[in-house]
Structure 1
Amino acid sequence: MPTLTRRAESFSALVLEVFQLNGLLLQAGDRLSAPAGLTSARWQVLGVIDHGPATVAAVARTMGLARQSVQQTADALASDGFVEYVENPNHQRAKCVSLTAAGRRALRKVEQAHAAWADRLGASLAPARLAAAVDGVREARLRLEKDLAEEGRDEA
């Protein structure tokens, strides 16, 4: 097993914490969204298209997910009446996903639950530590995005 530098150990510890945090956030999101008939994944898709109709591919890019997984989620949302597929003025075949009135009501219900939950949890953390954590995670994300983009150019 290779020996990690102190920097590598620190970054690896951050990655593990983020993975664990992500799992817990998905659990919490499922609990927050269940009363509205949603899951974390469905809530995320609705949140993206709340700003306006978008293609499944655009939603997937925004969320950093595979198009196929977002397609499955969008199809399930459409089946349950939370979204509908509408014509895309920019593409004949790639329809846009758009919120229905039921989807908008469900999203607003989850947003209200989320606001109370975030306020309760945010109150338990020192504002300066929370801000520093956000800054640190954002910086790590931006550097990782740059690294992945550079690797993509090297492979092309």
Structure 2
Amino acid sequence: MILDLFRLNNRLLSAGDRLVAEVGLTSARWQILGTIAAAERPQPVAWLARDIGAHRQNVQRIVNDLAAEDLVSFEVNPHHRRAALVVLTDKGMQALGDAMHLQVPWVNNLAEGLQVKDLETTHKVITEVLRKLEGDGE
């Protein structure tokens, strides 16, 4: 199962890269923009990295690239002078919206023929394994 999940992850990343290339994104950039948008409030890079289970340095590199393209900007963090808060710009919100618009038919096609109960069970299993990994501190 773990090897299948690794393979699935790689295929999803490759397919995601192809899907959002036309809006100037990669799967990694799309994931970061989505994580920023989903947060209840602006967060520093370290928190974004924690939320997606990635290394802070990798997320920092991607955020810096996004900032260079004016997709995100940095705000002063009143709680930590050196850890700026990352926020979406209008251009970033547009790019994320464009990616999500492309994602709808793609994900619907992937889900075609799958039973809702099977998807729910799969989600439950993945969520439980993830919870255990996060509890162990990996």
Whichever of the two has the greater Rg, that structure is: 1
Structure 1 unmatched ranges of 5 or more: 1-13, 152-156
Mapping for residues 81-120 of structure 1, pairs under 5 Å = 81-120=70-109
TM-score normalized by the length of structure 1: 0.82
Quote the RMSD (CA, aligned, Å).
Answer: 1.4
State the partner residue of 1:27: 14
Task: Quote the Cα distance in structure 2 between the aligned partners of 1:135 and 1:34.
Answer: 31
Deviation at 1:143, TM superposition (A): 2.1
1:54 maps to amino acid: Q
The higher-RCO structure (CA 8 Å, 6+ apart) is 2
State the partner residue of 1:133: 122
The number of aligned residues is 136
Deviation at 1:85, TM superposition (A): 1.2
TM-score normalized by the length of structure 2: 0.91
Structure 2 unmatched ranges of 5 or more: none
2:13 maps to amino acid: L
Deviation at 1:124, TM superposition (A): 2.6
Task: Quote the Cα distance in structure 2 between the aligned partners of 1:86 and 1:143.
Answer: 34
22, 33, 42: which one aligns with 1:46: 33
Deviation at 1:145, TM superposition (A): 2.3
Identity score, percent: 40
1:137 maps to amino acid: I
